[in-house]
Amino acid sequence: DQQVKQNSPSLSVQEGRISILNCDYTNSMFDYFLWYKKYPAEGPTFLISISSIKDKNEDGRFTVFLNKSAKHLSLHIVPSQPGDSAVYFCAASDGWDDMRFGAGTRLTVKP
Amino acid sequence: DAGVIQSPRHEVTEMGQEVTLRCKPISGHDYLFWYRQTMMRGLELLIYFNNNVPIDDSGMPEDRFSAKMPNASFSTLKIQPSEPRDSAVYFCASSLKEQGIFGTNVLTFGAGSRLTVL
pLDDT at A1: 65
> DSSP string spanning chain B?
----EEE-SEEEE-TT--EEEEEEPPTT--EEEEEEEETTTEEEEEEEEETTEEEE-TT--STTEEEEEEETTEEEEEESS--GGG-EEEEEEEE---TT-------EE---EEEEE-
Which residues of A fall within a CB distance of 8 Å from B50?
A: 97
Measure the CA–CA gap between B77 and B65, rounded to whole angstroms. 7
Residue of A nearest to B114 (CA): A41
Q: Which pLDDT value is given to residue A55?
A: 95
- List the single best residue of A1, A2, A99, A105 to mutate versus B (max B Cβ within 10 A): A99
pLDDT at B71 over 90: yes
pLDDT at B1: 65
Q: Which of residues 62-81 of A touch B (CB under 8 A)?
A: none
- pLDDT single digits (tens) A49-67: 999 999 999 999 999 999 9
For residue B103, the model assigns a pLDDT of 63
Give every residue of chain A whose pLDDT is below 50, as ranges: none
CB contact (8 A) between residue A44 and residue B91: yes
